[in-house]
């Protein structure tokens, strides 16, 4: 996998890719139900980080000594198919024993390939490493675990699978980690079609890893605002609309080489550029429509609007034209937002967030009528909700400050050094006497 020394930045990237694949195999979130294994893997990844830092800087002081690192991995040879890893037999302990740079890289390579033994052993692969003339500044743990927060937040994901069991919970796996990584690092929006079968997700994860490697090695140049949809067939190609924006359609059953060729294509870069331009156009159109109606915002889910871009853009233009000739705009609506629903065909409102919602299929007249009918009531209730929230926040702060001052009197806490809490304008009038 790695045949050259670390004499260039590209060589450092190759090691980074290798470490990422190790991370996906030992991801701590995969072991959430086993804290002991989770902590071992986390500590081992931190140790790999320090060894990587030495490797790219050319110091290699620790690598000269015999080292041992322990990981817990899922036993791919196990007969059980539990995706939640409820069966302890799905785990095995892997010990990496090595010395020197070659042994370090060889052990990682064998771990990823599933060939790791208790020692690095003889190998035909020849690794060499040299001080990098341009030390890599990327922190591998930051790079690898940057999506960890998102992974923790989505540890339990509700997924549509079948008509018999529409709500099925499964633990975080490689695919979710990769999706979060794409969104965070490259600004890409990745969707996986509901029809992609659960038993094909392992193969899909390997292809998605290749997808990330391809885009990362290209430094992600020109792919921000891109959209990729993975379906359950063999079809691979670009789907465009009239503005030049669109998305890349990747069949889960298509070959990895076909995926790579389309990801590296100029057509995909042009689609990403078209999406960026389309998003800027929609931002301006939404802002203009909001001003015409005297609202705070007009908005929708722009990552999902690509297939209905023309329809949404025409609706915004119609709202702007009709709003500009309205007899008067009430200042009471300035805190209100208009949400255009892409999927649901219903009119509604959300008092807490100050939102009036309408379907994309609605006419301009119906939208204006809905805003005028309930807009003032929603805005009034929303303002009252905000005032109540502000009052409760002030009371909580007052109680906390009083408690700290009381404890400070007994020398349990240092006296507070912060400035006196400012009382918002009309709150004193509404405070209990």
Work out the burial of residue 410: count CB atoms within 10 Å of its CB; fewer than 13 is exposed, 13-18 middle, 19 or more buried. Answer: exposed
Q: Which of 179, 184, 226, 172 is nearest to 207 (CA)?
A: 179
Task: Please name the residues in contact with 15: beta carbons below 8 A apart, sequence gap of 6 or more.
Answer: 2, 6, 52, 55, 56, 105
Distance CA 235, CA 19 (A): 31
Structure confidence at residue 195 (pLDDT): 67
pLDDT given for residue 186 in this prediction: 65
Domains (ranges, CATH) in the chain?
A: 9-130 (no CATH), 172-274 (3.30.2410), 294-381 (no CATH), 394-430 (no CATH)
pLDDT of the residue at 407: 62
Tell me how far apart the alpha carbons of residues 199 and 204 are, in angstroms, rounded to a whole number.
10
CA distances from 378 to 20, 105, 284, 370, 418 (A): 49, 62, 25, 11, 37
Task: Give the whole-angstrom CA distance, residue 153 versus residue 80.
Answer: 27
In tens, the pLDDT along 34-55 reads 777 777 877 888 787 777 777 7
Give every CB contact of residue 260 below 8 A, 6+ residues apart in sequence: 210, 214
pLDDT at 34: 74
**For 17-33, what is each residue's pLDDT tens digit?**
777 777 777 766 666 66
Helix (H), strand (E) at residue 356:
strand 355-359
CB 251 within 8 A of CB 236: yes
Q: φ and ψ at 159, to 5 degrees?
A: -130, 135
Q: What is the pLDDT of residue 260?
A: 79
Q: Mean pLDDT, 10 residues at a time, over the chain (433 residues)?
A: 41 67 69 74 79 68 74 58 44 77 75 47 36 34 36 29 31 54 67 67 64 60 76 82 80 80 84 85 88 86 74 89 73 84 83 86 88 84 84 82 68 46 49 47
Smallest Cα–Cα separation from 19: which of 145, 166, 160, 153? Answer: 145
Q: What's residue 297's pLDDT?
A: 86
């Amino acid at each position: 996998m790695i045949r050259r020394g670390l004499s260039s930045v590209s060589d450092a990237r190759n090691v980074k890719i290798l470490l990422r694949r190790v991370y996906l195999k030992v991801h701590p979130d995969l072991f959430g139900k086993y804290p002991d294994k989770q902590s071992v893997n986390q500590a081992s990844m931190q140790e790999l980080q320090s060894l990587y830092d030495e490797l790219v800087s050319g110091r290699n002081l620790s690598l000269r000594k015999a080292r041992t690192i322990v990981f817990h991995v899922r036993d791919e040879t196990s007969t059980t198919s539990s995706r939640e890893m409820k069966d302890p037999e799905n785990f095995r302990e892997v010990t990496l024993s090595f010395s020197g740079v070659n042994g370090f890289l060889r052990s990682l390579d064998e771990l990823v390939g599933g060939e790791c033994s208790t020692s690095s052993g003889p190998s035909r692969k020849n690794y060499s490493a040299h001080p990098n003339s341009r030390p890599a500044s990327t922190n591998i743990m930051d790079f690898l675990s940057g999506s960890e927060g998102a992974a923790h937040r989505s540890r339990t994901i509700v997924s549509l699978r079948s008509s018999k069991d529409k709500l099925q919970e499964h633990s975080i796996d490689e695919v979710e980690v990769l999706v979060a990584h794409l969104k965070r690092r490259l600004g890409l929006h990745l969707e996986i079609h509901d029809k992609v079968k659960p038993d094909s997700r392992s193969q899909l994860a390997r292809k998605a890893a290749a997808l990330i490697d391809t885009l990362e090695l290209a430094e992600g140049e020109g792919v921000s605002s891109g959209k990729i949809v993975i379906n359950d067939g063999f079809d691979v190609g670009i789907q465009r609309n009239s503005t030049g924006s669109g998305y890349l359609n990747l069949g889960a059953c298509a070959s990895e080489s076909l995926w790579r060729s389309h990801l590296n294509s100029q057509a995909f870069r042009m689609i990403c550029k078209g999406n960026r331009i389309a998003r800027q156009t929609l931002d301006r159109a939404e802002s203009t429509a909001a001003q015409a109606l005297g609202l705070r915002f007009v908005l929708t889910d722009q990552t999902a609007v690509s297939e209905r871009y023309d329809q949404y853009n025409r609706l915004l233009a119609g709202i702007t034209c009709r709003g500009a000739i309205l007899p008067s705009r009430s200042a009471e609506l300035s805190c209100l937002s208009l949400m255009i629903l892409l999927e649901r065909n219903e009119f509604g409102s959300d008092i807490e967030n100050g939102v009036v919602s309408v379907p994309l299929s609605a006419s301009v007249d119906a939208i204006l009528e809905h805003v005028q009918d309930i807009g003032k009531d929603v805005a009034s209730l929303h303002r009252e909700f905000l005032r109540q929230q502000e009052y409760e926040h002030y009371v909580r702060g007052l109680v906390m400050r009083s408690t700290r001052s009381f404890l400070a009197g007994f020398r349990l806490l240092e006296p507070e050094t912060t400035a006196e809490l400012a009382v918002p304008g009309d709150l004193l009038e509404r405070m209990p006497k």
